[in-house]
């Protein structure tokens, strides 16, 4: 893959963030073999994706977003099994919208109590049935081990759409896609000339979206100057998982922690906020002391990312400002998932060379 060495005029939104994907297409010049290698592969962790692999996915997502009418039959004749055993709005609808937009059909399960699992059926048997009924499975479950229990019996690919407090890899890919649409220069050879400082509000070890997001960020060390973790927990709280801090340090990215949101906000180019975490059998909130509003001392050029759903931590008065990139983040997730799903069900060769 060739990464074009160019400078970009920043795509500044009129109201809220939604830069045109063609700027990202200009930054990433070539399609690549990585997309073909995703064929029939499970997606469990953000660790699976390399820098070049992510860039190729983002290029295909940008193609879909720039010209959606050209790609409307890629998944015709394919069936998605959408199994969401934990409450979800955006992730489930995003996956199902992505599949429908490409011409595929869907079987949706939104309540574990309506399945054989409620009668004691083991997940490996459920997986054997899925093999006969669909071409791909998207699973969300508050049980972190459900994926492991199913994978050995699956002959069709499965996507982890959020497993307990562990990971949410496709959300992280969507977050990165939004980030690079905002700053396409960050994927060029010029990235290290103006690296960004990212603030993450909350406790990474408690939040699957944040955990996966950091795993993606460390693949782009030239683009990231520093990651600042802003938290309101006691100093004894474990902020990172066993390997997460090591991943950041090995990438050469600086890490800082603080409990003073107001002091650090003026320094940050990107603020990633997500106060909600799945823990046990319910949702918990981390970072409850922190709130972003139009009165917050944000840099004029700073953007806010949030995987949604939001609570009181993110005021609606920011929705009509240029800081709002969380709506673009949610919209772009559809195109990112269109790209990923196309590759996983052996249809990438139909689209990667289309201009």
Return the pLDDT at 14.
44
Percent of the chain residues past pLDDT 70, beyond the cut = 86
* CA 37, 40, 42, 43 torsion-angle sign: positive
Q: Kindly state the average pLDDT of the residues 44-58.
A: 94
Quick check: 251 pLDDT over 80?
yes
- 3 state SS of 138: strand
Fold of the domain spanning 22-167+333-350:
Rossmann fold (3.40.50)
Specify the DSSP element, H or E, that contains 256: strand 254-258
Return the pLDDT at 7.
43
Helix axis angle for 51-66 and 169-182, nearest 10°, is: 70
Contacts of 166 (CB under 8 A, 6+ apart): 144, 208, 211
Return the pLDDT at 286.
55
Q: How far apart are CA 170 and CA 179, in angstroms?
A: 14
Q: Kindly state the average pLDDT of the residues 24-52.
A: 89
Rounded (5°) CA angle 122-126-127: 115
* pTM, to two decimals: 0.89
* CA 264, 313, 220, 68 torsion-angle sign: negative
Q: How confident is the model at residue 321 (pLDDT cuts 50, 70, 90)?
A: very high
Quick check: 10 pLDDT over 60?
no
Q: pLDDT: is 112 or 245 the higher one?
A: 245
Q: What would the pLDDT profile of 62-75 be if each residue is shown by its tens digit?
A: 999 998 888 888 89
Mean pLDDT of the chain: 86
Contacts of 138 (CB under 8 A, 6+ apart): 80, 81, 82, 83, 84, 92, 95, 158, 159, 161
Of 87, 20, 35, nearest to 338 by C-alpha is 35
3-class DSSP string for 154-192: CCCCEEEEEECCCECHHHHHHHHHHHHHHCHHHHCCCHH
Return the pLDDT at 117.
73
Q: How far apart are CA 307 and CA 236, in angstroms?
A: 27
Q: Kindly state the average pLDDT of the residues 182-208.
A: 90
Q: Kindly state the average pLDDT of the residues 65-94.
A: 88
> What is the CATH code of the structural domain delimited by 169-330?
3.40.50.1370
DSSP 235: T
Quick check: 9 pLDDT over 50?
no
Contacts of 277 (CB under 8 A, 6+ apart): 165, 202, 203, 206, 207, 208, 283, 284, 285, 286
Task: Write the DSSP string, 192-228.
Answer: GGS-EEEEEES-GGG-HHHHHHHHHHTT-TTTEEEEE
Percent of the chain residues past pLDDT 90, beyond the cut = 55
Weakest mean pLDDT among 1-10, 77-86, 107-116, 285-294: 1-10
Judge if 22-167+333-350 and 169-330 fold alike in CATH terms. yes
Domain ranges (residues) in the chain:
22-167+333-350, 169-330
Quick check: 283 pLDDT over 80?
no
Structure tokens at 140: 């969300």
Q: Kindly state the average pLDDT of the residues 194-223.
A: 91
Radius of gyration (Cα) for the chain, nearest Å? 20
Task: Write the DSSP string, 285-353.
Answer: ES-TT--B-TTS---TT-EEE--S---TTB-GGGTTSTTB-HHHHHHHHHHHHHHHHHHHTT-GGGTTT
- Note whether 267 and 300 are within 8 A (CB): no
Structure tokens at 113: 């109590």
Q: pLDDT: is 167 or 197 the higher one?
A: 197
Return the pLDDT at 291.
87
Q: pLDDT: is 88 or 221 the higher one?
A: 221
Structure tokens at 81: 């099994």
Q: pLDDT: is 30 or 76 the higher one?
A: 76
Q: Kindly state the average pLDDT of the residues 115-140.
A: 86
Q: Kindly state the average pLDDT of the residues 149-171.
A: 89
Q: pLDDT: is 336 or 143 the higher one?
A: 336
Quick check: 1 pLDDT over 70?
no
């Amino acid at each position: 893959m060739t990464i074009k060495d160019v400078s970009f005029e920043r795509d500044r939104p009129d109201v809220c963030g939604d830069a045109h994907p063609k700027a990202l297409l200009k930054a990433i010049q070539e399609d690549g073999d990585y997309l073909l290698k995703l064929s029939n592969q499970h997606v469990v962790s953000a660790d699976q994706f390399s820098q070049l692999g992510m860039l190729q996915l983002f290029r295909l997502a940008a193609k879909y977003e720039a010209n959606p009418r050209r790609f409307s039959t890629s998944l015709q004749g394919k069936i998605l099994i959408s199994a969401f055993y934990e409450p979800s709005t955006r992730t489930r609808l995003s996956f199902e919208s992505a599949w429908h937009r490409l011409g595929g059909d869907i079987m949706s399960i939104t309540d574990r109590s309506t399945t054989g699992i409620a009668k004691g059926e083991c997940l490996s048997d459920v997986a054997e049935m899925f093999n006969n009924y669909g071409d791909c499975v998207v699973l969300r479950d508050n049980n972190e081990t459900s994926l492991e229990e199913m994978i050995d019996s699956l002959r069709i690919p499965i996507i982890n759409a959020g497993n307990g407090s562990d990971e949410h890899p496709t959300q992280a890919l969507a977050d990165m896609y939004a980030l690079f649409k905002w700053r396409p220069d960050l994927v060029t050879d010029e990235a290290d000339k103006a690296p960004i400082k990212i603030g993450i509000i909350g406790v990474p070890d408690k939040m699957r979206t944040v955990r996966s997001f950091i795993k993606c960020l460390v693949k782009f060390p030239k683009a990231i100057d520093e990651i600042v973790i802003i938290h309101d927990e006691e100093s004894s709280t474990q902020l990172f998982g066993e390997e997460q801090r090591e991943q950041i340090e090995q990438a050469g990215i600086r890490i800082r922690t603080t409990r003073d949101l107001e002091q650090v906000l003026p320094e940050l180019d990107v603020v990633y906020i997500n106060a909600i975490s799945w823990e046990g059998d319910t949702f918990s909130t981390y970072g409850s002391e922190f709130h972003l509003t139009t009165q917050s001392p944000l840099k004029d050029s700073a953007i806010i990312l949030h995987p949604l759903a939001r609570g009181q931590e993110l005021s609606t008065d920011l929705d009509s400002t240029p800081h709002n990139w969380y709506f673009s983040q949610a919209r772009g997730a559809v195109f990112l998932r269109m790209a990923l799903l196309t590759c996983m069900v052996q249809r990438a060769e139909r689209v990667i060379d289309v201009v």
